[in-house]
Amino acid sequence: MVKKIRKNSFLWHYGPGSLIYIDGVSLMPLALDHWVERPFPRKRPMVNDTNIINIVKNMIQSDLSPNIFLISEPKDDDKDRKLDRKKNRIPARMFPTYLECQSCRTVKKIKNFAKINNPKRPFAYKCSNIDCKGKSKLKPVRWVKICERGHIDDFPFFKVAHDFNQEIMRKCDNISLKLVILPGDASGAAYKVVCEDHEELAKVFSSAESTTAKFPQLKKCSGQYKEYLNFPSIKPRVSDSMVFENDLLKCNKESRVILRGKGNIYYSRVINSITIPTRLIDPAILSELKHPSTKDMKIILRKFNRKPDEDDLEELEEDYGEIFDKYDTNVFEAYKLFLDLINKSADTIPSLRRLEFQTLEYPDEYTQSIIFQASAVNIDNKPISKYFEKIVQVHRLKETRVLLSYSRVHPFGKENKNEVFISSTNQNLFAAIEGFGEGIFFKLNSERLLMWANNETIKNRLSGLINLISEYTYRNDMFEDHKSEEIVLLHTLSHALINQIALNSGYSSASIRERLYFFKENGVSIAGILIYTSGSGSGSLGGLVEQGKLQNIQNIMDDMIDTISWCSHDPACIDPPIDESEKIRIDFQTGVLSACHSCLLLGETSCELWNQILDRVTLIGSEVDDNLKGVGFLK
C-alpha cells in the first residue's frame, strides 16, 4: 500500500501520533526512532540552522543538541527511486486495533480476523462469518479514547458489552461482538455493543460523548503511549512530570470518547524560522582587530558573551587596571562591535524574531546569497510613509519548519500544557522541512502606532480581547509582551494585506503566509509584518515580491482600504450584538471582534494565530458607532 503525503501535510496533520485514513485503513505513524537507520544518521540531510537548533534544545530542556533531519522526497531518477522510497517510507501501524465488518456488524480485534495474503495490501483482512463469505469490507471502528496528556486508546468494546462486570468478563471467551445501530433522535443514531452470550448487559448510548454518562469507567485513562506509538523499550517523554509503574503511565487526567476523525485528536506544534545570513563586517573593524593587544583583550572580554556596555567597561577598568590602560581605545570599540556581530544568536522564539526583524529592516548590512536577498524600497516623502517606516522586497529567503510535538483535546497553550515530543529521550530526533521563497516586509510607522495605541476608545474596546492574546500567542511564545493592543492591529493588518495581495498577485491566499514581529524598546512599540511564500522547491517565480514595488504597494493599500471598509455581513460584522453582561461582545470560541470569513479570516496554512485576535475596527474605525469613527490606524 503506497500513499504519498506532502511534506507540509506531514508536519501539520500526519506526524507521529496522528491518524491517517488510507483506502479503508486507519494508520498511526510511529515515533521518529523507527524512521531512521542505525547508526544514525546515514544519508540523511540535517538542519544546520544554529538558531532553530538552539531553540529546540531550549524547549526540550536537554543538554544534548537535537538531531533535526530533513524530510526528503523520492528523486525522479530511476536509479535512486527505489532507494529513496525505502528511505522515505513512514513506518506505521494500524489503529484503532478493532475492525468492524460492514455487512454483519461484527466487531473484533484485528488479530482475530483472517489476514488476506496480498503483498500489495499488507493491512487487508476479511470477515470469516459464513454470511459475509469473505467479501465484506472491514473498516476501523469509529471511536477512540484520548486525554489531555496525549494518550490514546481503543474504545473498550468488550468491557462496554459486559457493562464493566469483571467477573463476567473473566468467564466470557466470546471474542466476537456486535455493534447494533438503532433509530436515534435528532442528535443522531443510537448504538449498543452486544455480546451474544450476555445480551442482557448491553446498554444503549446515542453518541460517543454520551458514553461517559452511561459508563463512568470510561473516564479513567489507561495511559497508553508505548503500545501504539511503539517507542523502542523506553519510556516516552512528555512535558511535565509523570509516574510510571511497570512501564505503564498512571495518568490522572480524565479520558474522553471521541470520533476517530475528529479534529481535536491531534494538534501538532510546529516552530519555524527564517534563516539569518552572515552580517557584513566593516573592513575598518577588521583592521583595528589586528592590533597586537587584541589577543589579550579577547581573554579579558571572554566573560561577556555579548556587546559590553558602559557598566562592563567600568568593571574592566576596576578588575584589570594597568593591563586595561595599555589597550588602544579604537581596538576596544572595534572589538565591542565585533562581539555584537558574531555573537548574535537566538535560543528563544522572541529573540529569534528580533534577529529576523533586524535582518529584514537593514538588508544591506547582511550578505546577499542564495538563502537571503533583499532590497529596501524608497518610500521617503511618499503618501504610504504615514503608515510604514520601511518596506523591503525580499527576493529570496529560506524557511525551516520543525515538528516539535503534539497534543490532544486542546492545542498546546494555557488550557493544555501537556505535549508529547515525537521521539524518545535517547536520540532527540526531530523532523523538519526547508523551503525557499520570497516576500515583502513592512515596518509600521512607530509614531502613528503610538498615537493609535494611546487612544482611550481603542483601549476600552480591546480590553476584553487583550486577555485572550496571551492564550493564543502563548502556544508558540511569539512575543515578549503578550498583552498589547498593537498585536490586534498588527494581526488584522496582516490579514487584510494578504487578502489584497492575493487578489493583485494571482497567488492563492492559502499559499501566502504571515510572520509577525512585535517588541518594545525604551517604551516604544516596534512592529513589523513579513508577508511571504515558501515551498519545497527552489523557490517561487517573483510574483509576490513584484507587488513590493512602490506603485504596486500604493495601489494595494488603496484597494485594501476600500475592501475592508465594507463587508457583505455588515452591519452584523462591524457592529456585533452587545451582551449587557459584558461591555462588548467577544466570541470566546473564535477570539475575534469585527471579523468574519467574508472580510478577514484566512486559511489555517496562512495564519500564525489560528484566525484569532482580529478586529476590523482597529484599521478603519466604524461608521455605525460615533465613538469609533476615526479611530482606525488607516484613517
Residue 11: pLDDT band (50, 70, 90) is: confident
Q: pLDDT above 70 covers what percent of the chain?
A: 72
C-alpha cell at position 145: 479514547
Predicted confidence at residue 340, as pLDDT, reads 62
Mean pLDDT of 83-105: 76
| pLDDT for residue 408 is more than 80 | yes
Residue 313: pLDDT band (50, 70, 90) is: low
Burial of residue 196 (CB within 10 Å: 0-12, 13-18, 19+) is exposed
Predicted confidence at residue 168, as pLDDT, reads 87
Predicted confidence at residue 231, as pLDDT, reads 43
156 by DSSP, 3-state: which? Answer: coil
Predicted confidence at residue 247, as pLDDT, reads 38
Predicted confidence at residue 527, as pLDDT, reads 94
Residue 476: pLDDT band (50, 70, 90) is: low
Predicted confidence at residue 122, as pLDDT, reads 75
Lowest mean pLDDT of 30-34, 148-152, 195-199, 348-352, name the range. 30-34
Q: What is the pTM of this model?
A: 0.81
| pLDDT for residue 533 is more than 80 | yes
Mean pLDDT of 614-627: 85
Mean pLDDT of 313-328: 56
Query: Under the phi-then-psi rule, with left for phi > 0, alpha for psi from -120 to 50, and beta for the rest, what region is 366?
Result: beta
| pLDDT for residue 82 is more than 70 | no
- For 426, list phi and psi in degrees, rounded to 5: -85, -20
Residue 580: pLDDT band (50, 70, 90) is: very low
Quick one: DSSP state of residue 63? Answer: S
Predicted confidence at residue 470, as pLDDT, reads 62
Residue from 156, 154, 136 nearest 144 by CA? 154
| pLDDT for residue 485 is more than 80 | yes
C-alpha cell at position 35: 524512521
Predicted confidence at residue 2, as pLDDT, reads 60
pLDDT single digits (tens) 333-376: 666 666 666 556 788 888 899 989 989 998 988 888 888 999 99
Mean pLDDT of 418-437: 79
Residue 558: pLDDT band (50, 70, 90) is: very high
Predicted confidence at residue 582, as pLDDT, reads 46
Angstrom distance (rounded) from CA 167 to CA 169: 5
Mean pLDDT of 204-216: 71
Mean pLDDT of 66-90: 59
Better-scored residue on pLDDT, 578 or 347: 347
Q: What mean pLDDT is reported for the chain?
A: 77
Lowest mean pLDDT of 84-93, 105-114, 266-275, 374-383, name the range. 84-93
pLDDT single digits (tens) 598-618: 999 998 888 888 888 899 999
Residue 448: pLDDT band (50, 70, 90) is: very high
pLDDT single digits (tens) 247-296: 345 677 888 888 888 888 898 888 889 998 877 766 666 665 555 555 55
Predicted confidence at residue 233, as pLDDT, reads 36
Angstrom distance (rounded) from CA 267 to CA 14: 10
Predicted confidence at residue 235, as pLDDT, reads 39
| pLDDT for residue 209 is more than 90 | no
Predicted confidence at residue 227, as pLDDT, reads 43
384-388 CB contacts, 8 Å cutoff, 24+ apart: 384/550, 384/553, 384/554, 384/557, 385/445, 386/445, 386/448, 387/444, 387/445, 387/448, 387/557, 387/633, 387/634, 388/442, 388/443, 388/444, 388/445
| pLDDT for residue 239 is more than 80 | no
Check: CB of residue 420 under 8 Å from CB of residue 31: no
Better-scored residue on pLDDT, 286 or 528: 528
